[in-house]
């Protein structure tokens, strides 16, 4: 019954490494999102996408990039990981909802530690 799958639950990387976080959804949703979740803070939006090959910056895009080559897949890339990117990364998707709710379905998260 898994609907949003994040490829890695736990990753440990070194400063300066390139990191790929993969997210796949099987609900044919148009919208996909990457958030980071840190203690004491609300979810912060990194990037989002409303369609294939389309991407929009969220509130904290610096140090990140994304790729959406297929509708079901949305990848988050850290070009050169830094210690302040140690966090929980959550992927989510939603459909275009006539009622305007656009309920998010989240993946289980990827906990990244950068040493």
Partner 1 sequence: GQNIDQPTEMTATEGAIVQINCTYQTSGFNGLFWYQQHAGEAPTFLSYNVLDGLEEKGRFSSFLSRSKGYSYLLLKELQMKDSASYLCAVKDSNYQLIWGAGTKLIIKP
Residues forming contacts to partner 1 in the complex (CB under 8 A) are: 4, 40-45, 90, 100-109
Minimum distance of partner 1 from residue 72's CB (angstroms): 17
Between 28 and 69, name the residue whose CB sits nearer to partner 1.
28
d(Cα 21, Cα 18) in Å, to the nearest integer? 10
Half-sphere exposure of 46 (CA within 13 A, CB side): 26
Between 26 and 79, name the residue whose CB sits nearer to partner 1.
26
CB 6 within 8 A of CB 20: no
Between 17 and 57, name the residue whose CB sits nearer to partner 1.
57
d(Cα 78, Cα 92) in Å, to the nearest integer? 18
Strand 10-13 with 19-21, pairing: unpaired
Minimum distance of partner 1 from residue 2's CB (angstroms): 10
Minimum distance of partner 1 from residue 13's CB (angstroms): 20
């Amino acid at each position: 019954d898994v609907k949003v799958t994040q490829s890695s639950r736990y990753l440990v990387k070194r400063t300066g490494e390139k990191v790929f976080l993969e997210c796949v959804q099987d609900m044919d949703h148009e919208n996909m999102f990457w958030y980071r979740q840190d203690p004491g803070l609300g979810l912060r939006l990194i990037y989002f996408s409303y369609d294939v090959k389309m991407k929009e910056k969220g509130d904290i895009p610096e140090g990140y990039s994304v790729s959406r080559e297929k509708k079901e897949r949305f990848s988050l890339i850290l070009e050169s990981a830094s210690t302040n990117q140690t966090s929980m990364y959550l992927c989510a998707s939603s459909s275009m909802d006539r009622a305007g709710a656009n309920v998010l379905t989240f993946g289980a998260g990827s906990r990244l530690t950068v040493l």
